[in-house]
Amino acid sequence: MQGKICMVTGASRGIGRAVALGLARRGATVILVCRDTQRGAAACDAIRGASGNQAVHLMTADLASFDSIRGLAKAYREQFHQLHVLINNAGVVKLQRAETPDGLETTFAVNHLAPFLLTHLLLPTLQRSAPSRIVNVSSVVHRWGAIDIDDLQGERRYDGDKAYNQSKLANVLFTYELARRLSGTGVTVNSMEPGMTATAIGSEYTGFKRFMNWAWRPFMASPEQAADTVVFLACAAELEEVSGKHFVKRRDVRSSKASYDEALARRLWGVSERLTLRKE
């Protein structure tokens, strides 16, 4: 990965941090996108020390804010002229419905609309840098997800788990639709699911769910184990022309039946475009 520039969102801890370290160890220039400046700076220092690679940089952004995402993309384009790998990893779970500064439901906005917008803003740079890659981190729960196209924001009825499952299915639908639209450009896009991983993603759980999250923790994959497939998708030479696929443990697998609904993918794309690009 010498000479390659990679951006990883949600890179201050968990899978994102492990991915950033894996890429740094392979010689890439790595951009960590973090919301918290202090925690992001600490992650950068730790990755530089562990990898011996000093080309590890921090860019701060709140992916719950479209203005912040636009600022991130603008700052990146001003500082860097190429981008070879974009890894959309950041994600949240909100058990209680909350809204972003843009007035959108937070889980859907951060997990789906944020990578949708960031990818669009950086797409010209990715295309100039081709061959380049986009990796979207989904989840096994996309298999239980359903897209409620008439209530994407959970305004009628909100369930935190269903909102998260929906957002992870949206990641896969976005991956496949984007792959179709980028065919022949030299930019590939694939999604993956890391499996049950010991991260902070379930920190909002209470009661029985909190107990089960704790009880299952010894059996969960480590962030480093989960990151392996992401790094593989970013680096493997044999995947240079592979696009529109879904991976588990480095293997191309079938995703959920709903994820192959092209009409649904186009409808979701249209809604996402109107919500994210309305101020462009």
Q: Average the pLDDT over each of 67-71, 174-178, 179-183, 200-204 and give the range with the smallest value.
A: 200-204
Residue 164: active-site member: yes
Q: Put residue 74 in one of left, alpha, beta given phi > 0 → left and psi -120 to 50 → alpha.
A: alpha
pLDDT band at 214 (very low <50, low <70, confident <90, very high): very low
The domain ranges of the chain are 5-276
Question: Cis before residue 124, ω within 30 degrees of 0?
Answer: no
What is the spatial distance between Cα 38 and Cα 15, in angstroms, rounded to a whole number?
18
Length of the chain: 280
| CATH topology for the 5-276 domain | Rossmann fold (3.40.50)
Does pLDDT of 280 surpass 80?
Answer: no
Write the CB contacts of 54 (distance below 8 Å, at least 6 apart in sequence).
48
Give DSSP secondary structure letters for 99-136: B-TTSSBHHHIIIIIHHHHHHHHHHHHHHHT-SEEEEE
Residue type, 134: I
Residue 22 DSSP SS3: helix
What is the spatial distance between Cα 61 and Cα 70, in angstroms, rounded to a whole number?
9
What is the pTM assigned to this prediction?
0.90
Which residue is catalytic, options 76, 158, 164, 176?
164
pLDDT in tens, 4-30: 999 999 999 999 999 999 999 999 999
